[in-house]
């Protein structure tokens, strides 16, 4: 079997080296490029791989003029992070698990009831700072898996290049610095009041 | 002087179109889009490239032989451009109609080689030197089959004047002074008894007047690819091994001139091929009985219609050949040096010698 194959190959090579075979192969080369040139009026459509047409476009130009056209990405694409701060309980789990330390969170305890997240968890902390540095992020997705309220998610947005690298830091906090200061003061005041109340209670106990 | 300016402007226009076509054709053959951003369909791309090149710094390497380095691009372009002087663009429009145009063209084109060597040597760069040496070796060897192919045309036409050769290949032949009583027979054979003098069109093109000129045409076309350093004979500029060959050290305006010279060379060899083999500015449509297509699509000599039709046919035939050059470039891989020399000395030259011999015998049958 092997021997037969060898023979066939040798014959094939010998067969292709005559003058007319060379001319024939030169012409077939020209006809190939000519065919591609003629098919240049067709263009591939930007379609997702699961679309029916995806594998049915063997001819035509394959280039997409990217900013104007783009191949669709899956709906569950895992690219840019997004935090739905309304649902965040500022538990700091995401910042702790992040392998590159690109999440920075600061927290202030609340002084009154500020409601619950959409899955019913009670919110006890404000987040005056919730920054994710997308330039450092390695898109491992660990932070989204640990998030207890599923508020930190990855979105299918992948084109977010910036001229200034500082713009790669995304600020998700919903508090302005002034509001944060105010909440901080409120919290400190409450602590003082509680301490005063405690001291008063202690004094009353001693007396009594 | 007017002819000089007009030819230069025409040449610049053609070269800019050609540079754009090269990119688009290359892109389409490789299933890409090519330039799309500059102007509609990227059509201003090559204009912008030229403007960009003109703004660039003109760098002369410190170790270069300055005078040779600076002179070389001008010499190369001048040699190619001088070739256009004898090209007849229409029945009565030749920049310089001299009687020994073919001889002059071959001689002046050879000067190109000197410029290439100056550029390669003057750059003081090993890649430039290698590129120039390869280029010169290639051009000098391929001038032989090309020259022999041209010689067979000259033998058939019995003239070194491009304009006379052009007139012979059409229905207007008897209007040329000196050719009043000449007769064109089909395939040049009087024995066949078919007089094509007034039929004109494609039947009087040189490749039909003497069929072995078809072989000569193929030989000339292959050799002309080598002379203009086009793929598959582009080992002098082989980007992958020599960076860019003899013009690796050039930048800015000088590079633009070299680039222009290269594309002008392509245009020139195609023009010469059209004039010598494919009927020059003559129409391809023959007169068929009362339907005198040839006369309708030729116009009257000396009037605007004659100039327009002549220029149209000449340029459209040239563009077909130029397209073929582009297609060949994007189809075939580069030849090795030994294959290059094998093709030239062992294949093309013997065949060309045979064609010259047959052309001589054919000429005897034609009179
Ligand atoms: S995806 Fe990974 S790297 Fe990016 S913020 Fe989340 S844990 Fe950090
Ligand atoms: S893990 Fe989720 S809930 Fe906890 S701080 Fe991060 S984003 Fe907020």
Contact by Cβ (8 Å): B306, B93 = no
pLDDT of residue B203: 80
Q: Which bound ligand lies closest to the C-alpha atom of A134? A: 1
How many A×B Cβ pairs under 8 Å?
37
pLDDT in tens, B89-109: 877 777 777 888 888 988 888
Please give, rounded to a whole number of angstroms, the shortest distance from the CA of A46 to a CA of chain B. Answer: 14
Task: Report the alpha-carbon distance of residue B237 to residue A157 in Å, rounded.
Answer: 44
Q: Which pLDDT band, with edges at 50, 70 and 90, does A1 fall under?
A: very low
- Among candidate residues A97, A100, A110, A111, the one with its CA nearest the CA of residue A134: A100
Better-scored residue on pLDDT, B350 or B336: B350
How many other CB atoms are found less than 10 A from the CB of residue B98?
Answer: 14
**Structure confidence at residue A13 (pLDDT):** 55
Bridge partners (DSSP) of residue B90 are: B93
pLDDT in tens, B203-227: 888 888 888 888 999 999 999 988 8
CA distance A165 to chain B (A): 27
Residue among A33, A39, A61 whose CB faces B32 most closely: A61
Task: Report which bound ligand comes closest to the CA of A94.
Answer: 2
User: Å from B261 to nearest chain A CA?
Assistant: 27
Question: Is any ligand 1 atom within 6 A of the Cβ of residue A158?
Answer: no
CB A37 to CB B25 under 8 A? yes
pLDDT tens sequence across A73-125: 888 888 989 998 888 888 889 999 999 999 999 988 888 888 888 888 888 88
Label residue B199 exposed, middle or buried (CB < 10 Å: 0-12, 13-18, 19+): buried
Q: How many Å apart are CA A9 and CA A4, to the nearest integer?
A: 9
pLDDT one-digit tens code per residue, B147-169: 999 999 998 888 888 888 888 88
A34-57 pLDDT, tens digit each: 998 988 888 888 888 888 888 887
Measured torsion, CA atoms of residues B230, B235, B240, B243, in degrees rounded to the nearest 10: -90
Q: What is the average per-residue pLDDT within B327-333?
A: 89
Hey, are the CB atoms on A34 and B327 less than 8 Å from each other? yes
Closest CA to B317 of B276, B285, B281: B281
pTM: 0.80
Residue A11 has pLDDT above 60, yes or no: no
Question: In which residue are the tokens 């093709």 written?
Answer: B343
Share above pLDDT 90 across residues of chain B, in percent, rounded to a whole number: 12
pLDDT tens, position by position, B178-204: 777 777 777 777 777 777 777 777 888
């Amino acid at each position: 079997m092997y021997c037969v194959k060898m023979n066939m190959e040798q014959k094939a090579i010998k067969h292709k080296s005559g003058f007319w075979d060379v001319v024939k192969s030169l012409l077939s080369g020209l006809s190939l490029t000519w065919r591609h040139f003629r098919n240049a009026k067709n263009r591939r459509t930007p379609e997702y791989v699961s679309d029916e047409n995806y594998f049915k476009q063997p001819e035509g130009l394959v280039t997409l003029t990217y900013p104007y056209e783009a191949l669709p990405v899956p709906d569950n694409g895992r690219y840019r992070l997004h935090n739905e701060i309304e649902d965040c309980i500022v538990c700091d789990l995401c910042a702790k698990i992040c392998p590159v330390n690109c999440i920075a969170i600061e927290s202030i305890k609340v002084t009154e009831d500020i409601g619950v997240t959409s899955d019913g968890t009670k919110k006890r902390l404000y987040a005056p700072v919730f920054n994710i540095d997308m330039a450092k992020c390695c898109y491992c997705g660990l932070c989204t898996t640990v998030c207890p309220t599923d508020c930190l998610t990855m979105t299918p947005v992948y084109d977010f290049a910036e001229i200034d690298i500082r713009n790669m830091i995304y600020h998700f906090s919903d508090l302005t610095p002034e509001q944060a200061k105010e909440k901080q003061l409120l919290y400190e005041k409450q602590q003082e009041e509680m301490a005063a109340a405690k001291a008063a209670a202690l004094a009353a106990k001693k007396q009594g | 002087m007017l002819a000089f300016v007009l030819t230069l402007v025409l040449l610049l226009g053609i070269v800019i179109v050609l540079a754009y076509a090269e990119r688009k054709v290359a892109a389409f053959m490789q299933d890409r889009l090519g330039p799309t951003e500059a102007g509609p369909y990227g059509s201003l791309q090559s204009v912008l490239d030229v403007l960009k090149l003109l703004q660039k710094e003109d760098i002369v390497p410190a170790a270069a032989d300055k005078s040779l380095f600076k002179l070389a691009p001008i010499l190369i372009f001048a040699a190619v451009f001088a070739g256009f002087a004898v090209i007849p663009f229409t029945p009565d429009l030749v920049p310089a109609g001299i009687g020994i145009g073919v001889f002059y063209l071959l001689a002046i084109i050879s000067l190109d080689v000197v410029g290439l060597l100056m550029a390669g040597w003057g750059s003081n760069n090993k890649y430039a030197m290698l590129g120039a040496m390869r280029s010169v070796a290639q051009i000098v060897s391929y001038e032989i089959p090309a020259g022999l192919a041209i010689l067979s045309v000259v033998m058939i036409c019995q003239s070194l004047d491009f304009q006379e050769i052009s007139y012979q290949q059409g229905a207007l032949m008897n209007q040329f002074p000196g050719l009043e009583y000449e007769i064109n027979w089909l395939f040049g054979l009087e024995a066949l008894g078919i007089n094509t003098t007034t039929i004109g069109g494609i039947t009087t093109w040189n490749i039909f007047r003497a069929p072995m000129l078809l072989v000569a045409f193929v030989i000339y076309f292959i050799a002309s690819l080598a002379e203009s350093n086009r793929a598959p004979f582009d080992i002098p500029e082989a980007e992958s091994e020599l960076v860019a060959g003899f013009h690796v050290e050039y930048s800015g305006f000088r590079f633009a001139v070299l680039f222009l010279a290269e594309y002008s060379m392509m245009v020139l060899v195609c023009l010469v091929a059209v004039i010598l083999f494919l009927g020059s500015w003559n129409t391809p449509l023959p007169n068929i009985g009362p339907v005198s297509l040839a006369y309708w699509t030729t116009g009257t000599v000396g009037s605007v219609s004659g100039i327009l039709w002549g220029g149209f046919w000449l340029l459209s035939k040239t563009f077909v050949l130029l397209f073929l050059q582009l297609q060949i470039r994007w189809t075939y891989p580069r030849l090795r040096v030994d294959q290059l020399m094998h093709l030239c000395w062992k294949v093309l030259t013997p065949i060309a010698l045979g064609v010259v011999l047959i052309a001589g015998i054919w000429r005897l049958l034609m009179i």
